[in-house]
Amino acid sequence: MKFNQKSKLLLTALAFALLLLPFATDALFGRGWVRIADFALLYIMLALGLNIVVGYAGLLDLGYIAFFAVGAYNYALLSSPQFGLHWPAWAVLPLGALLACCFGVLLGAPTLRLRGDYLAIVTLGFGEIIRIFLNNLNAPVNITNGPQGISMIDPVRVGGFSLGATQEIFGISLPSVHLYYYLFLLFTLLVVCVSRRLEDSRIGRAWMAIREDEVAAEAMGINTRDIKLLAFAMGATFGGLSGGLFAGLQGFISPESFGLMESIMILCMVVLGGMGNIAGVVLGGVLLALLPEAFRHGAGPVQQALFGKALVDPESLRMLLFGLALIAVMLLRPAGLWPSSVRRRELEADDGVAQQEQETVYDRSR
Amino acid sequence: MTAADNGHGKQAMPVSLSPSSLPQAGERDAVSLREFQDQALLQLSGVGKHFGGLAALSEVSLHIRRGEIYGLIGPNGAGKTTLFNVITGLYQLDEGALTFDGVAYVHCKPHVLAEAGIARTFQNIRLFANMSALENIMVGRHVRTRTGIWGALSRNAAACAEERAIAQRARELLRYVGIDRPHQTLAKHLSYGEQRRLEIARALATEPALLALDEPAAGMNATETESLKSLLQAIRASGITVLLIEHDVKLIMGLCDRVAVLDYGKKIAEGIPEEVRRNPAVIAAYLGGEAA
């Protein structure tokens, strides 16, 4: 990839902005927002993972959060007082990703013959099965602690360096949320990089071919079974990885965090941002992670200022505004906020091509 | 200026299409080469396919020799496309046997047959509409390339070299079928004739020994059909066997070495085009009832 002078400058500026973001946020809005930024990064990773399944391979997966849950519970069980295990993060995180990958194949295999709506229904079922399992695996043998969840999960720790407490680096004092921000940023960049490389490869083209026309793809020699399983596995791997990170940051997880709404939220990020386009999906992840929080914090004060008192509960208003925003985006920008260049070309070029086609027809009949 | 006149007739053809399985002329003496060519590339014996109570194909036997253009004609609903789908693995045959290049294929998935060397186009164009013209052909290279997930992620020397070779080959094929457009043009924005040719290029990218074309000239005007004809002749000249379903009788008669006629799922005639055209059963099938 070649960068010209301008994009180099832009990239450097972006890198600095991302590095300074937690400090700026902390100073301007308070520490709570740094935590929200951490969650935004987690959501971006999840959305990019789902983008492989939905955006590239065109397989509608409504149970994606299950892989997030697998990663999170893997981390929680292996490094918390639950079983008295305290494995180091560098072992648990990859293990979680691997485990989620296996689950991806496991859940993907029975759905290979399904498409569209039917696939969505089955994956939705799988997502729920995982959640219900986690909810009920406290008897007869207590594994997951059931609905009470697992608490006191170890923070991510590398050697003696714990991300759970404030650390001094080069004389700069970095609170825990800042440290997690940088860790998540690192993993997000990794996920972006992997997505990019996959997109523009033999495997990526095979995924897109399946999305476009499965029968033709198969007739062109693509082993659709393997390639689809690969998409499920890759997507699940990202989900498992971010699940582990989530457990480390949060210190507490329960099945409640892995409901259907979360799956739908991630799907919204992918669709809203621009299916199949990495930058779009990142944008979708950032917006959908931040907007509800902004509504939550903003709705109360704004009502106070307008009416003198809070007319509507900010919490319910939040979802209402959120729904309206979704509808507006889908009506005004059906291909997503930042569609892939291909999609944009589709929308722009239609008129030109129609005319050109007319001319061609005339040319040929003469 | 249309794609028709930048012509396939006068191909400079930097492209070699020969599948590697084909013996080079220099390696064998003339007699054994002819023997090799006389062997059937594709052999169907007693093939039957039923949908519920309907026998779409029954007792169809035919063999296609190496290097020939073999035509398959018949009235609408005669089972031509069904036979195509059986040959390319989209349908599993209920009876009979399919042998390709000396190997029997029983209940094989389409991708296995594609790897064995059968490539096809579709009656209703089935391109990857939202991918670029070049990418469509690059997908065709999938079956002959090997970069897996690790190659894609590490972008090591082998993966990069293969990726370059894929793109290079795709550009050659795009030129070969005479699509003179920016490579990034989406497949669905190509003209109808170009889409038909792009489908052929995509099929050629899989390095087939047998190219199966389902009504490639449907909807084309005379100029386009003529350029298609010379394209098919060039493909045959490069050593690829062609199986052709077509309604355009003129094209079939001018192009095919042998023709088979299907009617109600049965083969009613086979032979060189001149004979078939005079065959009373064929005339009856086309004109109906006792017309012969």
pLDDT at A68 over 80: yes
A270-327 pLDDT, tens per residue? 988 888 889 999 999 998 888 888 877 777 777 778 887 777 777 777 778 778 888 8
pLDDT (0 to 100) of residue B196: 92
* Pairing state between β B54-65 and B69-73: unpaired
B163, B140, B204, B200 alpha-carbon torsion, rounded to 10°: -130
**Among B103, B82, B34, B92, which residue's Cα sits nearest to residue B267?**
B82
Distance, in angstroms, between B58 CA and closest chain A CA?
Answer: 24
Closest CA to B162 of B148, B145, B174, B142: B145
Q: Do A222 and B142 touch (CB under 8 A)?
A: yes
Is the CA virtual torsion A93, A98, A104, A110 positive or negative?
Answer: negative
State which amino acid sits at residue A23.
F
The pLDDT assigned to A143 comes to 86
Average pLDDT of the residues in B45-70: 91
The label of the residue with tokens 């997507």 reads A235
Tell me: the pLDDT tens digits for B80-98? 999 999 999 999 989 999 9
**Burial (CB count within 10 angstroms: exposed 0-12, middle 13-18, buried 19+), residue B262:** buried
The identity of residue A166, as a single letter, is T
- Residues of B9-26 as b/e, b for ≥16 C-beta within 10 angstroms? eebeeeeebebeebeeee
The pairing of strands B266-271 and B258-263 is: antiparallel
Q: What is the ipTM of this complex?
A: 0.85
Dihedral of alpha carbons A61, A67, A69, A72, sign: negative
Rounded (10°) CA dihedral A231, A234, A238, A243: 90
Q: Which residues of B touch A203 (CB under 8 A)?
A: 147-149, 152
Confidence of residue A208 (pLDDT cuts 50, 70, 90): very high
Are A232 and A54 in contact by the 8 Å Cβ rule? The answer is: no
Tell if the CB–CB gap between B139 and A213 is shorter than 8 Å. Answer: no
Angle CA(A110)–CA(A116)–CA(A117) in degrees, nearest 5? 90
- Read off the pTM: 0.86
Residues 196-255 of A with CB under 8 A from B: 197-198, 201-206, 208-209, 212-213, 215-224, 230, 234
Mutant choice from B149, B150, B198, B199 vs A, greatest count of A C-beta within 10 A: B149
- pLDDT tens sequence across B171-183: 999 999 989 888 8
Which of A34-48, A159-173, B213-227 is predicted with the least confidence, judged by mean pLDDT?
A159-173
**pLDDT exceeds cutoff 50 at A161:** yes
Locate A31 and state its tokens: 């520490």
